[in-house]
Structure 1
Amino acid sequence: MQEYFTTGELSELFHINVQTLHYYDSIGLLTPTIRDSHIGKRLYSFEQVYKFTTIRYQQKLGKSLKQIADYMGSTDMTDVLNDLKQQLDIVHRKMDELRVVGQTIEEKVSFIEQKFEEMNSVDVDSIKYETFPERPYFAAEGDEFQFGNDFFYVYPTVVFHEHGNKSFGVFVPDDFYEKHPLSQLTCISAGTYICGYHLGTYETIFDSIDRLRNLALQKGQKVSDRTVCFNIIDQFVEPDSTKYLTQLQIQIL
């Protein structure tokens, strides 16, 4: 059994760089058993291998080096047990958060796949009429909500254009309220809509909106002043803004 390890040997054993061990030495977290200043060698005892294993384990639990030092300095088993329980609670919370993120990403993927199927079967330049029930969405009030709320990134974005004003929302699934009972949802009105697509940047979307609106007016149909725009292919899935795909819907009154 090897009694001592050099810094290089210990770094190879745990696949870390030598500078990390030097830093641990400088802060007193893992100090070599033997230090030979004449030849510049630091030697770690076999027992310190177990100590370093504990450091790596605590890091995997998400602890800071200060927290690890406090943990390793404790000799009270009750403190150690309580610490592990706290870490377990943190892990469970993170697992719950990741589970929710996974579910919402699956919902966005499902939404995009559904729209991809539409793209493959429908001409992007085509116009059609569709009847919808009330559809829930989460109103995004201001840029602070829009860019600071996780819902904005995982659910499809809906944009409303009316009288030169623009507002945002997050289109959510029907069971959203069951998962988030404290949420205040708004609904897109039920009814028949004239629907089309806009392919390209958001700066040119009003050309497509005007085309859709004028077509309805030419048929003698009275339409809402509000245009509902669903971002199907956006900046989250396509870096080229000329390939953004937006579905446009205007309600027939």
Structure 2
Amino acid sequence: MRNLFTIGEMGGLFRINIRTLRYYDEIGLLKPEVVDERTGYRYYSARQFERMNTIKYLRTLNMPLDKIKAFFENRDTSVMEQILEEQLEETREQLSRLHSIERKLSNRLFQLHYAMTAPLERIERKNFPARPAAFLKKEISQGENLEYPIRELERTSQLPPAMFLGKVGVSISREDLLNGRFHHFSGIFVLLEEEDNYRGEQTFLPEGDYLTILYAGTHQDSAAYYKRLLACAREQGLECSGDSAEITWIDSGFTDDQEKYVTELQIPVVSRTSGGYTESIGKDF
């Protein structure tokens, strides 16, 4: 029975790349049984098959090489039990992170599909639940580049930059809306999702009825659409009851084609006879 096998034969038997075997030799995880001093050829013995099998098994469990090496340096059932338990816990944490990413991807795709397929220029009355948001109360002119206020919001709320794509909105105060002043904002916010694991201070876009409209364009084009929403509210016996929410669902973060930008305006409304107003966005700030 053969006892020695070349590195090529070892690779073929275990379906493992020769470069990987050389690396295992380099780090001391699996050194050849014999190295020909004259030719430098590596030879592995049949006695090393069990070790190779163990390495391959642990690698299929995504076990780091340093842990595998530590096991062989102190080979015992208790050591194996410990590294398997550690790997199980790490795998569960990875699954949790992947599930969070899956939900984030689903949310972004839903929002993108909504913005791409929802009818434009049509006023609708929608009821929204209370929506959590991180809010920065700040006077911002409409022509101002929003990147700096976004960085301020990111810094003051300790939000990771990855949270911002497709979830940033600005707000015009109720007072300005009622007085026809549509060219500066009273604050900027980012909508929060459970998957963000945000632990900082937050406020809520109030629950209730909103008149909404989507249009092709950006914040710069909003004035005419605010006028349409407010006129529609008067016709329906409604009045603005709080600050607006203005969200650009598709912007330069998604496309270079400005003709594909889509913005949504949302104005909270109540019946004129109800006498009640919802709280303004960011009122606690």
TM-score (norm 1): 0.72
User: Residue 117 and residue 206 in structure 1: after superposition, are their counterparts in 2 closer, same or farther (change >3 A)?
Assistant: closer
- In 2, Cα distance between equivalents of 1:183 and 1:89: 27
- Write the mapping of 1:217-236 to structure 2, written as runs, cut at 5 A: 226-233=243-250
Query: Could you say which residue in structure 1 is the equivalent of 2:204?
Result: 187
Deviations 1:157-195 (A, max 9, x none): 1412334455222254xxx59xx7978653223455443
- Percent identity over the alignment is 24
Q: 2:131 aligns with which of 121, 133, 136?
A: 136
Q: 1:167 aligns with which of 188, 195, 213?
A: 188
Deviations 1:90-133 (A, max 9, x none): 22232233334334433444444455552xxx2x2x14141424
- In 2, Cα distance between equivalents of 1:25 and 1:220: 76
The amino acid across from 2:59 in the alignment is Q
- In 1, Cα distance between equivalents of 2:208 and 2:26: 70
Query: Could you say which residue in structure 1 is the equivalent of 2:73?
Result: 73
Q: Would the aligned equivalents of 1:132 and 1:190 in 2 still touch at CA under 8 Å? A: yes
Q: 2:267 aligns with which of 227, 250, 253?
A: 250
Higher helix proportion, which one? 1
- In 2, Cα distance between equivalents of 1:190 and 1:88: 42
Query: SS at the partner of 1:168?
Result: strand
- In 1, Cα distance between equivalents of 2:82 and 2:231: 73
- In 2, Cα distance between equivalents of 1:9 and 1:195: 69
- Write the mapping of 1:84-233 to structure 2, written as runs, cut at 5 A: 84-118=84-118, 122=119, 124=120, 126-139=121-134, 142-144=153-155, 148=160, 152=164, 157-162=167-172, 163-164=184-185, 166-170=187-191, 172=193, 186-200=203-217, 205-216=218-229, 226-233=243-250
Shift of 1:16: 4.4
- CA RMSD across the alignment: 3.8
Shift of 1:15: 4.7
Unaligned stretches of 5+ residues in structure 2? 137-152, 173-183, 271-285
Deviations 1:183-236 (A, max 9, x none): 865322345544322435xxxx23321121233566795757844133434577
Query: SS at the partner of 2:29?
Result: coil
TM-score (norm 2): 0.65
- In 2, Cα distance between equivalents of 1:190 and 1:110: 21
Query: Could you say which residue in structure 2 is the equivalent of 1:54?
Result: 54
- In 2, Cα distance between equivalents of 1:5 and 1:166: 71
User: Residue 239 and residue 77 in structure 1: after superposition, are their counterparts in 2 closer, same or farther (change >3 A)?
Assistant: same
Q: Would the aligned equivalents of 2:233 and 2:269 in 1 still touch at CA under 8 Å? A: no
Q: Would the aligned equivalents of 1:7 and 1:42 in 2 still touch at CA under 8 Å? A: yes
User: Residue 35 and residue 225 in structure 1: after superposition, are their counterparts in 2 closer, same or farther (change >3 A)?
Assistant: same
- In 2, Cα distance between equivalents of 1:34 and 1:213: 81
- In 2, Cα distance between equivalents of 1:199 and 1:143: 27
Query: SS at the partner of 2:222?
Result: helix
- In 2, Cα distance between equivalents of 1:60 and 1:151: 33
- Write the mapping of 1:11-22 to structure 2, written as runs, cut at 5 A: 11-22=11-22
Unaligned stretches of 5+ residues in structure 1? none
User: Residue 234 and residue 8 in structure 1: after superposition, are their counterparts in 2 closer, same or farther (change >3 A)?
Assistant: farther
The amino acid across from 2:56 in the alignment is R
- In 2, Cα distance between equivalents of 1:74 and 1:226: 65
Aligned length: 237
Q: Would the aligned equivalents of 2:131 and 2:207 in 1 still touch at CA under 8 Å? A: no
Query: Could you say which residue in structure 1 is the equivalent of 2:44?
Result: 44
1:23 matched to 2:23:
yes
User: Residue 208 and residue 192 in structure 1: after superposition, are their counterparts in 2 closer, same or farther (change >3 A)?
Assistant: farther
The amino acid across from 1:245 in the alignment is V
Query: SS at the partner of 1:132?
Result: strand
Q: Would the aligned equivalents of 2:241 and 2:268 in 1 still touch at CA under 8 Å? A: yes
